[in-house]
Structure 1
Amino acid sequence: MPEVFFNGPAGRLEGRFHPAKQRGAPIAVVLHPHPQFGGTMNNQIVYNTYYNFADRGFSVLRFNFRGVGRSQGAFDHGQGELSDAASALDWAQSISPEARACWIAGVSFGSWIGMQLLMRRPEIEGFISIAPPANRFDFSFLAPCPSSGLFVHGDKDRVAPLREVLALIEKLKTQKGIVIEHAVIPEANHFFEDCIDDLQSVVGAYLDKRLGMPRHAPSPIRKERAKPVPPKDDATETE
């Protein structure tokens, strides 16, 4: 899985890219949690979601927002990070211009950025929103939500309580022309500690359903390991 660098609005952005073997394969971009609270592209949820897409034949990109790792720039409270995500999708499309579809996935803060990108890019036809912090960030821009997708949450999430997300999802479910699905992972907190396999099973099953096909060939060889970041106290975390 090659290390890549591409230009963003604030300078060079660092990423990892898995190219699909099949011409015309769909693209996916996976966005990491809050940069100021330990979020990076090597977050375990991001890492495993990345391979969930790769396993199913996607060309998939994950990257560090500005100011994280070897990405240039500084944290910009969401506005700059949204521009970074748009640049990442542009880069992935330039590498795979014949891609037949695009997906976006995000974790916590990354889900907020991803859903904003969804509103701006009509070619995005599916989304995975993991632990969206609907209590901490404004999701009212989803009016209407242009694409079908999946929200996944833990029932022990104290950072972004389930009740806040349910209110958002129930609003979106009233829209015509899209299907919003929601999965709750039992005993999972905001970081899905000890529940990442359960989370990825749900994500994989949803992708299989949307793609209308069985799992692709065995996973590509993972030449790197996800680098776990010790979670901060849920009471003060603001991913």
Structure 2
Amino acid sequence: MVQKGQFLERATLVPVGSEVMEGTTHRGSRAPPLLVIPPRPDEGGGMDHVIAAELVWAAANAGFPTLRFNHRGVGASQGKRGRDLELLADAEAAMQMLLENAGANALAVASLHGGAQVALALQAKHPAVGGLCLVAPALVAPEVLSRVTCPLLVVQGEEDTRLPRAAVSAAIARTGGDLEVIDDAGPTFQRNLPQVGRAVAAWLRRLSGG
């Protein structure tokens, strides 16, 4: 039995075509639900990434439903590791499951590292993405951020130099989005990781209207 205040994700299977991906979900009563997209398979890591765990804990603790998943060919997910279109299809399947489970018509998406490529493609294709958060984004051109059409949050470590800070800041400003720089942290947030969770939870509360 789950006690009050405990955090317990439930294992779930996400169908995509004839295969299934592994995922974990957490219930919540607030909107929007949060989909967490892991790093790209060729970067290594998956839904068990420490940043993903921090995001779902912070979101669920604030009352928002969550879903995180492993792309096909990663962890216990079936199939072979894919590239851009296949990764987008994986995210679309996870998005659909989260919307159905939460009984929602819109959701927020948070990505890790190169998963920003997948998250940006998902947002460009689906109006149901009502908020986009890129945590330590990589493998994207900063100017692409200026084309995001929903509320945008980018979280970077102060010591993360993979994307030029000035260009990222200027692109975000053109969308009316927010940039959160975590002091004394690199791209893996080995320091001050809880600040990332707090920033994302606060962003979700803004999206929910309070």
**Normalized against structure 1, the TM-score is what?**
0.76
Question: Structure 1: which 5+ residue stretches go unaligned?
Answer: 214-239
| Superimposed CA distance per residue, residues 88-119 of structure 1 (whole angstroms, 9 cap, x where no aligned partner) | 0111122233x253100011112221121111
Partner of 2:170: 170
Partner of 2:195: 198
Structure 1 19/201 Cα, relative in aligned 2: closer, same or farther at 3 Å? closer
Aligned residues of 2:22 and 2:70 also touching (Cα < 8 A): yes
Shift of residue 206 of structure 1? 2.7
Q: Which amino acid aligns with 1:167?
A: A
Aligned residues of 2:34 and 2:110 also touching (Cα < 8 A): yes
Shift of residue 10 of structure 1? 6.5
Higher helix share: 2
3-state secondary structure, aligned to 2:147: coil
Aligned residues of 1:9 and 1:83 also touching (Cα < 8 A): no
3-state secondary structure, aligned to 1:174: helix
Within 5 Å, which residues of 2 pair with 1:138-217? 138=141, 142=145, 144-158=147-161, 160-161=162-163, 163=164, 165-175=165-175, 179-213=176-210
Supply the RMSD in Å over aligned alpha carbons.
2.2
Within 5 Å, which residues of 2 pair with 1:91-130? 91-97=97-103, 99=104, 101-130=106-135
Q: How far apart are the structure 2 equivalents of 1:142 and 1:153? A: 14
Q: How far apart are the structure 1 equivalents of 2:172 and 2:92? A: 23
Q: Which amino acid aligns with 2:153?
A: L
Partner of 1:3: 11
| Superimposed CA distance per residue, residues 3-27 of structure 1 (whole angstroms, 9 cap, x where no aligned partner) | 001211462110001122x3x7432
Q: Which amino acid aligns with 2:171?
A: K
Shift of residue 168 of structure 1? 3.7
Aligned residues of 1:116 and 1:141 also touching (Cα < 8 A): no
3-state secondary structure, aligned to 1:147: coil
Shift of residue 79 of structure 1? 2.2
Partner of 2:66: 60
Structure 1 31/25 Cα, relative in aligned 2: closer, same or farther at 3 Å? same
Aligned residues of 1:127 and 1:149 also touching (Cα < 8 A): yes
Shift of residue 32 of structure 1? 1.0
Question: Structure 2: which 5+ residue stretches go unaligned?
Answer: 1-8
Q: How far apart are the structure 2 equivalents of 1:174 and 1:100? A: 27
Aligned residues of 2:158 and 2:181 also touching (Cα < 8 A): yes
Partner of 1:232: none
Partner of 2:27: 19
Shift of residue 201 of structure 1? 2.4
Structure 1 157/79 Cα, relative in aligned 2: closer, same or farther at 3 Å? same
Aligned residues of 1:5 and 1:13 also touching (Cα < 8 A): yes
Shifted more, 103-112 versus 31-40: the winner is 31-40
